[in-house]
Each structure stands twice: as structure tokens, then as C-alpha cells.
Chain A
């Protein structure tokens, strides 16, 4: 692996189902983030983790949960999906340079019907 990977690439999900989006990075970055991107809106932070073992809420955390058991992995779980969670989800990480620049995974396109 080089950089950040996300899985699945895309998913169609029935409302009410549980879904986990996976994110893995191999850059040994301390911080990781989950964003959602909707047409006409800027990226919105869902949850973040500054280091393994800690997590925090972003701008739009409701309906989502995260865990950070180790440095590399940062899964995002939708406990009971709703149509308003239809979006493109990006995972990012930072901590490898002086500017703390965030680097993004390829994204997961999720449709909730």
C-alpha cells in the first residue's frame, strides 16, 4: 500500500442497514479524518482522530461513529443508514510534514435508498 486506501469504492445500501467504511494509511500519520462531500457544499468534517486511541466529533457527527484502535486504520460506521447520508465520503490523514497537510484517500460513493 502507498498512501491511503478506502473500501468499498462505491456502495448502494438500503435504509436502516448498518455499514462500515474502511480507511487504511501506511504513512504513519498520527491524525486521521472523515469528511463527506455533497454537491454545492464544502467538505464537512464528520469525525477525526488526533492519535491512536482518541477520537473527536466534527461538524456533522450525528448518525456516524468511528474508532481508532491503531495508527493505520480509521473505520467509519453508519449504525442505521438514512437517505440523507447519501454522499461521497473521503478519509484523510496528516502529520507527516511541518505544515500538517491533509492527504486524501480516493473516496467511497455511498447511496442510501
Chain B
């Protein structure tokens, strides 16, 4: 079966750095996405990786290792507004997105 694993919940301090991991086992691979979802709102797109390596976008970076079936989202200089769930999704061989259950990130002052 297909599976996306990410931690259920993480806590970090304002101003710090946090890394959210995602491991996947899917039938085929056509890219990995990270989305942010604030409580009661829709998921919004953060980043996309299809090749191995690091993609940097402001305070957020995303890393991919296809051989290890592994990705992480790195958030720097954490702000209170970063409190949200972070969703990892992999596009499989049928070109459909398989979603993880999400990681709830709690930021403390």
C-alpha cells in the first residue's frame, strides 16, 4: 500500500528553527508537495520538490531524497503565525496526490 508518515505534533519556540520530516512509500514518484493549513482554513501551497536536494523559499526550505523516500520542511525564524498544520503529499504513478495526516506545529513565545 501507499503510505506517507509525518509526526502528529511538534512544539517549537518563537524565533527558533524547526524541521518537519516526511517519509513515503508510494507506487511511483512524480513530485512531493508541502502545504500549510491553518485551523479551519484550506491548505495553501508552500513548496514542491521533484529532484534531490534543497529548495529554499524565504524562511521556508524543503529537502528531498528520492532514494531514501524522505523529505523535510525547515522553518527558520519561527513566528507565531507559523502555528498551523503542515501537510506532506506525494504525486504517485497515477499522477494523484497521496497525503500524509499532517503535522500540527505549535509555536510558543
Contact = CB atoms under 8 A, between A and B. Distances in A.
A101 interface: yes
B43 to A, nearest CB: 5
A100 B32 CA distance: 11
Given A101-B48, A104-B42, A58 B96 contact: yes
A38 B30 CA distance: 25
Interface residues of A, number: 18
A90 interface: yes
A60 to B, nearest CB: 12
Contacts of A100: 91, 95
B96 A48 contact: yes
Given A42-B4, A42-B102, A43-B87, A102 B44 contact: no
Contacts of A90: 42-43
Contacts of B48: 99, 101
B33 interface: yes
Interface in B36-60: 41-45, 48, 50
Interface of A: 40-45, 48, 58, 90, 99-107
22 contacts: A42-B4, A42-B87, A42-B89, A42-B98, A42-B99, A42-B100, A42-B101, A43-B43, A43-B87, A43-B99, A44-B99, A45-B96, A58-B96, A99-B31, A99-B50, A101-B45, A101-B48, A102-B33, A102-B97, A104-B42, A104-B44, A105-B42
Given A45-B97, A90-B42, 7 more contacts: A42-B4, A42-B100, A43-B87, A102-B97, A104-B43, A105-B42, A106-B42
